[in-house]
């Protein structure tokens, strides 16, 4: 284990109760957080009740952190060893959801997605009479409305005037609901705010809790003296947390004269549209307290060096145009690492040779289904495999209508965005708001989209239908 001078200064910081470490992927944030937890254990757990909590935002990030923690523990424990070091381990590593569950009342009844949609649809029907000209008051925009209501509640905006004047452009960074503009001081904002109030009222009457109310309940319960408080808290990855999440974390912090909190933050990894940190120039984590902030810029080569064997995933990439294929593996803990296998074994692509391609939820290889515009994940591919990779995206395939083209249910298809296609191209198309993947056929009889499975019928385009080309399939990703 070897830290640079600035990394070591952060790990051993003795002056600041609140630290914020910013930086892109693989700049050492998690390694520093792991080292600091061991430093605090050996130097600032003085009382027998002193505990350290390390919070991760998901099971995947928890596994990644545990791997880093295990790999550096012996060296760090020796380096930071003191006479004050406690005999028993005082460090807990957990996900945020698991921590919150400890602070929830036993009789909490969480509303599920089906019930949430039902309540919202009922509220929408009531509001249509008052706002007949508001276009988002229909079932098509229910995901947008849910996101916006959760964001308002998570930020604690209980006053319409505040919501009317707050900037709300950051959500477009995730390319969600890009066709919906929420102008300040607009009827649309007023309508959405009233929808939120009606939704909350119906939840309360049914004595149910959604995810936001769950966090509020955990915050309220955390004030009970019988529940555990932590002397030191480390949050590895705050970028997708809401304001209420941060409030909860601060509520379980023990206020001793040597208590500390460290947050790590990566703006490139924001994937939650209700995140408190979308489009935020100033990250405010605690009130009336100055936070010491560090920004890491250099890649930290030692992060994630110890990788379990079962973290390796095998894939095949098929280039449709050139009819070639590549077998490769990637590391589930560092998905940007691509290593060729087969005839080109042990060739590894570096950072400058790969491109991050967004993955969207689903497209039908069967009957057309509604398009879901939400980015679900990302996949790194070598740049020379995919020409013009910056204009490409990946769609998951649902259905079996393209099996004769070796595109199966569960495969991922790389789509190049374009406004033109040639006869016999495999294309992703939007037909009257629904998406499908088919082979394009153009002849004297007109345009049709052909399946590659005799169990399905061609989709013939009529003059009444609105058809938009989403893109051309250029490659297929198969998990082996």
Can you give the pLDDT at residue 174?
A: 47
Q: Is the distance from CB of 19 to CB of 200 less than 8 angstroms?
A: no
CATH topology of domain 5-106+213-296: Rossmann fold (3.40.50)
438 catalytically annotated: yes
Q: Of 438, 441, 457, 479, which is the active-site residue?
A: 438
How far is residue 78's CA from residue 220's CA, in Å, rounded to a whole number? 40
Can you give the pLDDT at residue 308?
A: 41
The CATH class, in words, for 309-479 is mainly beta
Can you give the pLDDT of all 480 residues of the chain as single tens digits?
Answer: 567 778 889 999 998 999 999 998 888 999 999 999 999 999 999 888 999 999 999 998 999 999 999 999 988 888 888 776 777 789 999 999 999 999 998 878 888 889 999 999 999 999 998 999 898 898 888 888 998 999 899 988 999 999 999 877 555 544 454 467 788 999 999 999 999 999 999 998 888 899 999 999 999 999 887 788 999 999 999 999 999 999 999 999 998 899 999 999 998 888 877 888 876 655 677 766 778 999 987 765 545 543 343 456 889 999 998 889 888 888 665 677 788 876 655 677 777 788 888 887 666 565 554 555 556 678 889 888 888 878 888 888 888 999 999 999 989 999 998 888 999 999 998 887 778 899 999 988 888 999 999 998 998 887 777 788 889 999 999 987
How far is residue 397's CA from residue 395's CA, in Å, rounded to a whole number? 6
CATH topology identical between 5-106+213-296 and 309-479? no
Q: Is the distance from CB of 315 to CB of 330 less than 8 angstroms?
A: yes
How far is residue 191's CA from residue 134's CA, in Å, rounded to a whole number? 8
Q: Is the distance from CB of 268 to CB of 260 less than 8 angstroms?
A: no
Query: Which residues 6+ apart lie within 8 Å of 353 measured at CB?
Result: 382, 383, 384
Cα atoms in the Cβ-side hemisphere of radius 13 Å centred on 94: 13
401 catalytically annotated: yes
Q: Is the distance from CB of 371 to CB of 433 less than 8 angstroms?
A: yes
Q: Distance of CA 412 to CAs 10, 167, 377, 393, 418, Å?
A: 41, 36, 12, 10, 18
Q: Is the distance from CB of 302 to CB of 1 less than 8 angstroms?
A: yes
Question: Running DSSP on this structure, what letter comes out for residue 154?
Answer: H
Which helix (H) or strand (E) is 335 found in, with range? Answer: strand 334-340
How far is residue 269's CA from residue 274's CA, in Å, rounded to a whole number? 14
Secondary structure (DSSP) of 308-331: -GGGEEEEEEEETTTTEEEEEEEE
Give the domain ranges of the chain: 5-106+213-296, 113-208, 309-479
Q: Is the distance from CB of 396 to CB of 410 less than 8 angstroms?
A: yes
Structure tokens at 17: 């109760």
Q: Is the distance from CB of 361 to CB of 396 less than 8 angstroms?
A: yes
Structure tokens at 68: 């880093």
**3-state DSSP assignment of residue 288:** coil
Can you give the pLDDT at residue 92?
A: 96
How far is residue 480's CA from residue 306's CA, in Å, rounded to a whole number? 23
Which residue, chain included where needed, has tokens 């909490």?
Answer: 108
Residues 84-99: b if buried by 16+ CB within 10 A, e if exposed:
eeeeeebbebebbeeb
Can you give the pLDDT at residue 466?
A: 79
How far is residue 183's CA from residue 281's CA, in Å, rounded to a whole number? 20
Structure tokens at 223: 């004030």
Residues 147-183: b if buried by 16+ CB within 10 A, e if exposed:
bbbbbbbbbebeeeeebbeeebebbeebebbeeeebe
Q: Which of 215, 252, 214, 219 is nearest to 234 (CA)?
A: 252
Strands (E), 208-280: 232-236, 260-265
- Burial class of 56 by CB neighbour count within 10 A (0 to 12, 13 to 18, 19+): buried
Structure tokens at 429: 């198309």
- Whole-model pTM: value is 0.61
How far is residue 268's CA from residue 274's CA, in Å, rounded to a whole number? 15
Can you give the pLDDT at residue 245?
A: 94
How far is residue 149's CA from residue 401's CA, in Å, rounded to a whole number? 38
Q: Of 71, 146, 401, 416, which is the active-site residue?
A: 401
Angle in degrees, 0-180, between the axes of helices 243-251 and 211-222, rounded to the nearest 10: 20
Q: Is the distance from CB of 229 to CB of 50 less than 8 angstroms?
A: no
């Amino acid at each position: 284990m070897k830290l640079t001078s600035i990394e070591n200064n952060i790990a051993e910081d003795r002056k600041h109760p609140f630290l914020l470490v910013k930086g892109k992927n693989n700049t050492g944030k998690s390694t520093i957080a792991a080292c600091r937890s061991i430093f605090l254990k050996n130097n600032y757990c003085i009382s027998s009740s002193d505990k350290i909590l390390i919070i991760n935002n998901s099971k995947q990030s928890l596994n990644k952190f545990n791997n880093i923690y295990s790999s550096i523990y012996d060296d760090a424990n020796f380096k930071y060893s003191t006479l004050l070091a406690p005999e028993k381990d005082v460090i807990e590593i957990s996900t945020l959801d698991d921590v919150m569950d400890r602070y929830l009342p036993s009789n909490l009844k969480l509303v599920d997605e089906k019930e949430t949609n039902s309540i919202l649809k009922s509220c929408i029907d009531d509001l249509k009479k008052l706002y007949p000209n508001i276009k988002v008051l229909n079932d098509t925009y229910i995901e947008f409305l849910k996101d916006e209501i959760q964001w308002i509640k998570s930020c604690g905006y209980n006053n319409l005037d505040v919501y009317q004047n707050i900037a709300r452009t950051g959500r477009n960074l995730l390319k969600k609901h890009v066709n919906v503009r929420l102008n300040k001081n607009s009827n649309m904002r007023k309508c959405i705010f009233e929808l939120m109030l009606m939704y909350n009222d119906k939840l309360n009457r049914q004595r149910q809790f959604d995810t936001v109310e769950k966090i509020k309940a955990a915050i309220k319960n955390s004030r009970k003296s019988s529940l555990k408080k932590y002397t030191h808290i480390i949050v590895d990855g705050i970028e997708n947390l809401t304001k209420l999440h941060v409030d909860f974390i601060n509520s379980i912090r023990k206020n001793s004269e040597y208590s500390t909190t460290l947050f790590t933050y990566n703006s490139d990894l924001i994937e939650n549209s209700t995140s408190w940190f979308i489009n935020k120039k100033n990250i405010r984590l605690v009130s009336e307290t100055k936070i010491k902030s560090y920004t890491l810029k250099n890649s930290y080569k030692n992060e994630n060096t110890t990788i379990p064997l079962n973290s390796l995933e095998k894939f095949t990439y098929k280039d449709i145009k050139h009819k070639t294929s590549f077998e490769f593996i990637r590391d589930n803990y560092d998905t940007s690492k691509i290593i060729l296998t087969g005839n080109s074994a042990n060739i590894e692509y570096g950072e400058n040779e790969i491109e991050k391609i967004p993955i969207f939820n689903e497209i039908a290889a069967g009957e057309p289904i509604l398009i879901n515009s939400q980015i679900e994940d990302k996949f790194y591919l070598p740049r020379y495999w995919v020409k013009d990779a910056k204009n490409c995206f990946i769609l998951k395939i649902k259905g079996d209508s393209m099996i004769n083209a070796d595109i199966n249910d569960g495969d991922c298809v790389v789509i190049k965005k374009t406004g033109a296609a040639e006869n016999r191209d495999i294309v992703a198309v939007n037909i009257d708001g629904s998406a499908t993947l088919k082979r394009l056929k153009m002849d004297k009889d007109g345009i049709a989209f052909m399946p590659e499975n005799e169990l399905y019928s061609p989709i013939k385009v009529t003059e009444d239908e609105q058809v938009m080309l989403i893109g051309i399939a250029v490659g297929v990703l198969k998990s082996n």
